[in-house]
Amino acid sequence: MRKFLKGPFAVLMTPFKDNKLDEEVFIKQIKRVNGTGVSGFVVNGSTAEFIQLSIEEQKRAIELVSIYKDADKKLIASACTGNVVDTVDIAKYAKSVGADAILVCAPYYFTYPVNEKKQYFIDVANNSPLPVILYNIPFFTQEIELKTVYELFDHKNIIGTKDSSANMKRLMHQLDVAKDKNVAVLTGTDDILYSALFAGCVGSFTAFAAIYPNEISELYSAMDKGDYKRAKEIQDWFMPQLREADSKTFPFGYKELLGKVMGEKIGNKEI
């Protein structure tokens, strides 16, 4: 079950038109990744601005990916609602359209003590019909403490973690603990992709896999072949573009890059 979490996954972005999901451009984004070496799609992640989407809009995005993705591509549905009921509701819908797992961040807005955060993930995992991937994204919500991550690795319905902290020390400790458990450790940060893969991460959920699916796939291929020089060259090619993307309010710089390579307008929602 956990073996499908290997390789690069493209975190799709949400193009808006008249403050609604631009389905035509969204479908083009999916089709552009089809046929590449990318392992699958992550829908309604942070780069997708899920916080700007209603539950029904999130479900529609999941449905569109399930319809238009190639059969060999996996589908990870982000279910980051901040409460158990809505998160499980998305999980049940995602299951009904053939998703493979859900990605769940820590509850946000309120500051929860460690034991309540842990219980949140346990409650979701106990009730989700799909396996759960922990999502550590401390830039936008509370960090999942490492001790909690290690304990949650023992839950039968928690199959991995996506760590977007860009903290290699934290990543290394998770990899060390995970080697004796049946869980996958993935990075969510394009800036450290080369380093994370070299350290032992089995895959990644990142925006650049949606923007540059062929280049990301080539980096993975080079790593698999032991051609670290070529892999580092691709990583180095990414770096100035990552600086440019990060110079703008997240995720607008990434959307601009995607629009440029697609030749499409990736509209933003009015705030």
CATH number of the domain that residue 88 is part of = 3.20.20.70
Tell me the C-alpha distance between 134 and 71, whole Å: 25
Is residue 220 domain-resident? Answer: yes
> Which among 234, 233, 172 has a CA at the least distance from the CA of 209?
234
> What is the percent of the chain where pLDDT is above 70?
99
Q: Which of 93, 120, 135, 212 is catalytic?
A: 135
Catalytic status, residue 112: no
Is residue 168 domain-resident? Answer: yes
Which tokens hold the place of 9? 């996954």
HEC readout, the chain: CHHHHCEEEEECCCCEECCEECHHHHHHHHHHHCCCCCCEEEECCHHHCHHHCCHHHHHHHHHHHHHHCCCCCEEEEECCCCCHHHHHHHHHHHHHCCCCEEEEECCCCCCCCHHHHHHHHHHHHHHCCCCEEEEECCCCCCCCCHHHHHHHCCCCCEEEEEECCCCHHHHHHHHHHHCCCCCEEEECCHHHHHHHHHHCCCEEEECHHHHCHHHHHHHHHHHHHCCHHHHHHHHHHHHHHHHHHHCCCCCHHHHHHHHHHHCCCCCCCCC
Residues facing residue 133 across a β-bridge: 103, 160
Is residue 271 domain-resident? Answer: no
Is residue 131 domain-resident? Answer: yes
> Which among 150, 207, 161, 208 has a CA at the least distance from the CA of 2?
161
Catalytic status, residue 162: yes
Tell me the C-alpha distance between 61 and 100, whole Å: 15
Taking only the tens place, the pLDDT of each residue in 139-169 is: 999 999 999 999 999 999 999 999 999 999 9
Is residue 203 domain-resident? Answer: yes
Report the pLDDT averaged over residues 49-68. 97
Q: Which of 59, 162, 194, 255 is catalytic?
A: 162
Backbone φ, ψ for residue 116 (5° rounding) = -75, -35
Q: Domain range for residue 124?
A: 2-262
Res 4: pLDDT: 87
**What's the first-to-final CA gap in the chain, in angstroms?**
40
Res 3: pLDDT: 80
Q: Which pTM was predicted?
A: 0.96
Res 180: pLDDT: 87
Res 213: pLDDT: 98
Q: Does the pLDDT value for residue 2 go beyond 80?
A: no
Res 121: pLDDT: 98
Q: Does the pLDDT value for residue 263 go beyond 60?
A: yes
Report the pLDDT averaged over residues 6-34. 97
Peptide bond into 131 cis (omega under 30): no
Report the pLDDT averaged over residues 179-187. 94
Q: Does the pLDDT value for residue 104 go beyond 50?
A: yes
Is residue 196 domain-resident? Answer: yes
CA 220 to chain centre: 17
Res 234: pLDDT: 98
Confidence of residue 106 (pLDDT cuts 50, 70, 90): very high
Residues facing residue 135 across a β-bridge: 105, 162
How many structural domains are present in the chain? Answer: 1
Which tokens hold the place of 143? 């960090």
Res 1: pLDDT: 45
Report the pLDDT averaged over residues 105-116. 94
Taking only the tens place, the pLDDT of each residue in 212-258 is: 999 999 999 999 999 999 999 999 999 999 999 999 999 999 999 99
Is residue 270 domain-resident? Answer: no
Is residue 37 domain-resident? Answer: yes
